[in-house]
Structure 1
Amino acid sequence: MELKTTLEELSKREKELEQLNGWFDVALNNMARGLSMFDSDQRLIVCNNAYREIYELPDALTKRGTSLADLARYYVKMETGKDGPEELASQRAWIDRHLEEIGHGKTFSHIQNLKNGRIVLVTNKPLTTGGWVDVQEDISERRKAEQQISWLAHHDPLTEIANRTHFGEALDRALQNLRPTTGFALHWIDLDRFKQINDTLGHAAGDALLQSVAKRLLASVRESDVVARLGGDEFVVLQAGVEEWNTAEELAQRLLRSMNEPHFVLGQRVVIGASIGIALAPQHGRSAEDLLKAADLALYRTKRKGRNDFAFFEWIEQTSNKSSLDVDLSRAVDDGQLELLYQPIVDFKSA
């Protein structure tokens, strides 16, 4: 009777254990993250489906007892196609470093960039038995989102060139790296007749024109230069490595020729021009504020001359309050910021 009871209890416990193992398998293989566990001899104890899928492992390499060396060799061969003696020695060295890190008893992580485009965050948790647990998290989408956010923070979404923030950072770096013999130039560019085209052909055509302008500006400068859209139809070029006035003058002429070529937007042939104001560093200032003000005043000089041209900043303008007021009023007219208001006159006796 006692033997029968014992056998029944053992059978019941076996069923409970089998059920528990089944639940464990379901939980393990439905994890969103990959998981693998290794013993102190660097041999696989268990792994889940996500781990197999991330590294595209064959069933033979996911069985209990598979060595870390075999897994590393398969992974490297799949990623690089290399499987020679030098590569095996490199893998052995990596495993030794990995085990040394495990021996410290602290959790640590590293990033893997897979050939298939996946970015995997691997977190290693040492075990008291000498082995460890790996958790693999696919962070590809997160990284893409972070990169997109960073890109949007520094680029104009319409033209895909640098925005005001990016330009400001580039200008600060250029000022920090300023040398007595080598400076840089700021070309402040304002499109001529853009508002007319935008009003007559519509905003879609205006946007297409801005995109065309951005491409031409990029094609006219060197890789070391920065092209940015400040807003509206205003652009700026930070020209690096300018030692002489004629270097900036040559670029300004090249920019004007590029702008004067007809643009084809939404099936329409469009001809515009550009006005450019140029400030040089360090001749015209050693701060961002001074250089931008100088470029803005130089741009106003160009517009006074009749537009579709360029002008350098002249020191006399910086000391002229009238000139600064003229610039402000001119911009206010261009941007439609002035409004005429009538003051009613009321006679209270007859009211």
Structure 2
Amino acid sequence: MTETRSGRGWLVNRLAATGLGVRLIGIMLALFLTSVTLGVMGYVELRALGDSARSVGDVSVSRLFAINDMENALSDHEIAAERSVLEDDPFERQDLHDAQRMASSAFGQALLRLKTFGLSSEEKRIVAEIQRDWDGYLDKFRLADRFADDGRFEEAKEHFEIGAEQMAAALTAKITDITTLTRADTAVALDRQDTIVEQSLRLIVVTLAAAGGLALGAAIWVLRRLSLPLIALNEALRRLLAGDDTVRLPDFGTERNELSTLSHSAHALRDSIVETRRLAAEMKTQRALLSETVENMPAGLCMFDETGKLLVANAMFWSFFGMPKELTSGQGSVMLDRLLTQVGCRMTAARPGGGAAFASRMKALIAQGGSDSASWELDDGRHVLLQVQPVPGGWMMIASDISDRVDQEEQALHMARHDTLTGLPNRRAFADSIDYAIATADPNRPAAILFVDLDRFKHVNDTLGHAAGDKLLRHVSERLQGAVREGDTVARFGGDEFAVIQIGQQQPDSALGLGDRIIDLLSQPFRIDGRLADIGASVGIALAPEHGDRAETIMSRADIALYAAKSAGRGQCLLFDTDMLDRQNALIKLEADLKRAIELDQFSMLFQPLVNLDTGRITGAEALLRWRHPTRGLVPPAEFVPMAEELGLIVPLGALVLRMACTEAAAWPDRLNVAVNLSPVQFRRHDIVGDVVAALKSSGLPPARLVLEITEGVLLEDTDDVKDKLITLKGMGVRISLDDFGTGYSSLRYLRIFSFDKVKIDASFVQEIDSDLGGAAVVRAVCMLCGSMGIDVVAEGIETREQLLQVMEAGCNEAQGYLLGRPLAREEFLEIEGRSAAGVFPGLGVEESPDLPSAMRSAQAG
């Protein structure tokens, strides 16, 4: 015991005998170590805090943006895909495909960005499933789209709904999962930041307290030698701790080693504090950026903890539902009830039950830890997508304004079911209306389906132009809607085809009466751009369910009745019967026979002479196609030519006529020409120049002996393509004749825009020339005009001697008609041509057969 006390006293004595540096070395060393520790630990902790904050800002937010881009791209692609499988307009489908490619590219880029972030094994698994489901969704859609490309829209819709939409739903679920994990990671990172801040502050406070105690002790030990330097140092440190990072610490020089050491420690402390504050400022900036991001999200967001306390709610959420921020008052479930009730009160679809019922349902969902995503309509007409999902330690609600998307979907649905020109329901909507009418029809009052087809509409379209035709169709739709009763349906299928559903009436008398009224209404003239347009209508009627219990069957029956009405002379209203079906089947067989006839070359050629009125000689013939059916015999052109145009067979058929006519004419004497009629469809939609070149080359016929006859319908569109074709043909040496002159809207204008070789006056003027002074004046005027322009005039439809004398007197150069010669086989034509070349023309009739020069002299003498 004595030895211990004696040893302790020795240590005290030794310390008292040492210098200032030895006495303070322990204190200074402790202060230095404390300062260094503070700087290092503060730097490490705050660096970790900064890294964490940057991770939240750079990674979590970026991941959320990437996920949001995926959601938007999937939504855009799904909308465009759903429209494209239902769209029959190729141009519209192309636009939709472009939109799909853009959405697919955006989805792929967003998914690629997501993969670049550090993902957990669970997140990698979900991302892989998203990639797999996205590929599957695209495969399902492409399958549906191929059906749509083939025109099989119902199958396309079915495959899209069964396949692509299910895959899209799975994709949405996976995206929701990865969003939940990302937000959970963000919440954990924010919690870690708070912990680091608290630890750093505690470390600073403890270390500063220790440093202050040591400094005070050192001041007591050496009041004089250290007081002023330490007071200066203390003042500098006070300013530093007060926030003045620009303060300069005192420099004690090199002689005072102990104070120099203290000075170095103080400088280290200063640097540590400055760095700590810098990192804290960065963290504050990152937190402000995150808060600003949440506040400026395009969606409303609120988040509650598990006790019902509101953690986050941005301004968009409050404005969405028109709620004052005073709702944040109250704690726990009280505030939660008030908020959910207010949300429910704004949703029209949440009624009946009101906001309280909605709040109860949501609270039950939250209590079960479930999630929900549904579209709601607010009481101000907006549509909102409300998503409720659990998060670690609570749950969140996201509200997105989808009003524009809903409007686009409704507009797309309307466009898919309505005619854009008239606003009437289209064929698809009409078929649905038929199904509904069948399902709800009174057995004693069946529904009547009327198909309406306009007569002479093509003539109006060709003569007045397509713009006038569109206006006419709108006027027709207005008259049809005025003809039906409330509850009936009027639709337009396209072109000049309309349809009506009549319900709740005694049939068939009511439908027949309506059909007659429609015909009367549409037979009254229409005024289009200051001009009168006369059309008519034919109506076909079928009754449901008498004539069928499905829309497809009923529409087919009504179409058959319509065809029968048109075949009966137009302007007719007929009710379907089984005999019509037999006739329709016969027409279908005729279509098949026509296609086979082109393949088997069942066509022959007749030639109607063209006579020069100056010499009386035949100058050529117009080639007329005839179809010799193996069982039906000779089929008139009026039956198969319109059918060929409708089926798209007029192009190969027209090329066949050119080859046959040129081949026949090549064997004639060189003085004879051959004239071939060209269909407007054939001329506008095909390489007619190529067909002409091929026919001339294969036959060896000189181009100057070929006359191509076109109608004014070819020139109606007045396009550069039509002019270029005419100029090319004329440059080859082929002669061009304008057929049916005088029946069009701008006949004289056509003579100005192109130099024709011949003009054929329409037979309607010739047939009235001996009884109508106006008709004779028109013929004379045309002859004078064309004569001044160097254009030959041909009068067609000559059937009487008086007509022949009249056209000769008017100044026509050539004539054609039954009086001069009916369409003849090649041998008969060549025989008559030989006799006319010898000066005798036997074609002026059986009873009176003067030669043509004598007739001409008689006309001149008269």
Smaller-chain TM-score bracket: 0.7 to 0.9
Residue pairs, 1:297-336, within 5 angstroms: 297-320=560-583, 324=587, 333=642, 336=645
Offset of residue 278 of structure 1: 1.2
Q: What is the CA deviation profile of residues 229-271 of structure 1, one whole-angstrom value per residue up to 9, with x for unaligned ones?
A: 2221011112234542112123223323432344344444434
Contact in 2 for aligned 1:164/1:229 (Cα 8 Å)? yes
Between the aligned partners of 2:469 and 2:642, the Cα distance in structure 1 is: 20
Q: What is the CA deviation profile of residues 292-335 of structure 1, one whole-angstrom value per residue up to 9, with x for unaligned ones?
A: 34323322343344433312223333334686369977596288
1:134 matched to 2:392: no
Between 286-295 and 61-70, the greater mean CA deviation after superposition:
61-70
Contact in 1 for aligned 2:341/2:359 (Cα 8 Å)? no
Contact in 1 for aligned 2:347/2:376 (Cα 8 Å)? no
Contact in 1 for aligned 2:418/2:426 (Cα 8 Å)? yes
RMSD value over aligned CA atoms? 3.8
1:30 matched to 2:30: no
Counterpart residue type for residue 67 of structure 1: M
Q: What is the aligned partner in structure 1 of residue 539 from structure 2?
A: 276
Structure richer in helix, relative to its length: 2
Offset of residue 35 of structure 1: 0.9
Distance 1:252 1:127, change over 3 A: same
Between the aligned partners of 2:580 and 2:416, the Cα distance in structure 1 is: 35
Contact in 1 for aligned 2:385/2:402 (Cα 8 Å)? yes
Between the aligned partners of 1:267 and 1:61, the Cα distance in structure 2 is: 66
Pick from 312, 316, 327 the counterpart of residue 50 of structure 1: 316
1:194 matched to 2:468: no
Gaps of 5+ in 2: 1-30, 40-202, 205-272, 592-637, 668-697, 702-862
1:39 matched to 2:302: no
Q: What is the CA deviation profile of residues 7-66 of structure 1, one whole-angstrom value per residue up to 9, with x for unaligned ones?
A: 248756643542332121122123222211123454432112332343344454568969
1:248 matched to 2:248: no
Counterpart residue type for residue 251 of structure 1: L
Between 134-143 and 109-118, the greater mean CA deviation after superposition:
109-118
Contact in 1 for aligned 2:321/2:346 (Cα 8 Å)? no
Between the aligned partners of 1:135 and 1:79, the Cα distance in structure 2 is: 15
Between the aligned partners of 1:24 and 1:264, the Cα distance in structure 2 is: 67
Q: What is the CA deviation profile of residues 259-289 of structure 1, one whole-angstrom value per residue up to 9, with x for unaligned ones?
A: 2344344444434321111122333344555
Offset of residue 186 of structure 1: 1.8
Structure richer in strand, relative to its length: 1
Question: What SS does the aligned partner of 1:46 have?
Answer: strand
Counterpart residue type for residue 367 of structure 2: G
1:102 matched to 2:366: yes
With CA pairs under 8 Å and 6+ residues apart, which has the higher RCO, 1 or 2?
A: 1
Contact in 2 for aligned 1:317/1:323 (Cα 8 Å)? no
Pick from 377, 381, 389 the counterpart of residue 113 of structure 1: 377
Pick from 408, 414, 419 the counterpart of residue 145 of structure 1: 408
1:122 matched to 2:386: yes
Contact in 2 for aligned 1:46/1:63 (Cα 8 Å)? no
1:67 matched to 2:330: no
Between the aligned partners of 2:391 and 2:508, the Cα distance in structure 1 is: 68
Counterpart residue type for residue 642 of structure 2: V
Between the aligned partners of 1:34 and 1:296, the Cα distance in structure 2 is: 55
Residue pairs, 1:260-271, within 5 angstroms: 260-271=523-534
Between the aligned partners of 1:326 and 1:135, the Cα distance in structure 2 is: 63
Distance 1:14 1:223, change over 3 A: farther
Distance 1:321 1:254, change over 3 A: closer
Distance 1:128 1:321, change over 3 A: closer
1:295 matched to 2:563: no
Between the aligned partners of 1:25 and 1:290, the Cα distance in structure 2 is: 63
Contact in 2 for aligned 1:35/1:47 (Cα 8 Å)? yes
Q: What is the aligned partner in structure 2 of residue 83 from structure 1?
A: none
Between 293-302 and 274-283, the greater mean CA deviation after superposition:
293-302
Question: What SS does the aligned partner of 2:499 have?
Answer: strand
Q: What is the aligned partner in structure 1 of residue 615 from structure 2?
A: none
Q: What is the aligned partner in structure 1 of residue 466 from structure 2?
A: 203
Contact in 1 for aligned 2:344/2:356 (Cα 8 Å)? no
Distance 1:139 1:289, change over 3 A: closer
Gaps of 5+ in 1: 81-86
Q: What is the CA deviation profile of residues 156-214 of structure 1, one whole-angstrom value per residue up to 9, with x for unaligned ones?
A: 11112121222233334445566754422221101122112112221111111112222
Question: What SS does the aligned partner of 1:319 have?
Answer: helix
Between 16-25 and 285-294, the greater mean CA deviation after superposition:
285-294
Question: What is the number of residues matched between the two proteins?
Answer: 343
Distance 1:319 1:92, change over 3 A: closer
Distance 1:79 1:136, change over 3 A: closer
Contact in 1 for aligned 2:374/2:385 (Cα 8 Å)? yes
Q: What is the aligned partner in structure 1 of residue 727 from structure 2?
A: none
Between the aligned partners of 1:213 and 1:162, the Cα distance in structure 2 is: 14
Between the aligned partners of 1:187 and 1:327, the Cα distance in structure 2 is: 26
1:160 matched to 2:412: no
1:19 matched to 2:276: no
Q: What is the aligned partner in structure 2 of residue 216 from structure 1?
A: 479
Q: What is the aligned partner in structure 1 of residue 629 from structure 2?
A: none
Between the aligned partners of 2:639 and 2:555, the Cα distance in structure 1 is: 17
Q: What is the aligned partner in structure 2 of residue 84 from structure 1?
A: none
Q: What is the CA deviation profile of residues 135-154 of structure 1, one whole-angstrom value per residue up to 9, with x for unaligned ones?
A: 11111121122222222222
Between the aligned partners of 1:254 and 1:291, the Cα distance in structure 2 is: 22
Contact in 2 for aligned 1:44/1:64 (Cα 8 Å)? no
Counterpart residue type for residue 317 of structure 2: Y
Question: What SS does the aligned partner of 2:503 have?
Answer: strand
Counterpart residue type for residue 388 of structure 2: N
Distance 1:78 1:152, change over 3 A: closer
Pick from 446, 462, 465 the counterpart of residue 183 of structure 1: 446
Between the aligned partners of 1:31 and 1:316, the Cα distance in structure 2 is: 69
Contact in 2 for aligned 1:188/1:236 (Cα 8 Å)? yes
Between 180-189 and 199-208, the greater mean CA deviation after superposition:
180-189
Larger Rg: 2
Counterpart residue type for residue 226 of structure 1: T
Counterpart residue type for residue 119 of structure 1: H
Normalized against structure 2, the TM-score is what?
Answer: 0.36
Between 331-340 and 209-218, the greater mean CA deviation after superposition:
331-340
Distance 1:215 1:44, change over 3 A: farther
Offset of residue 91 of structure 1: 2.9
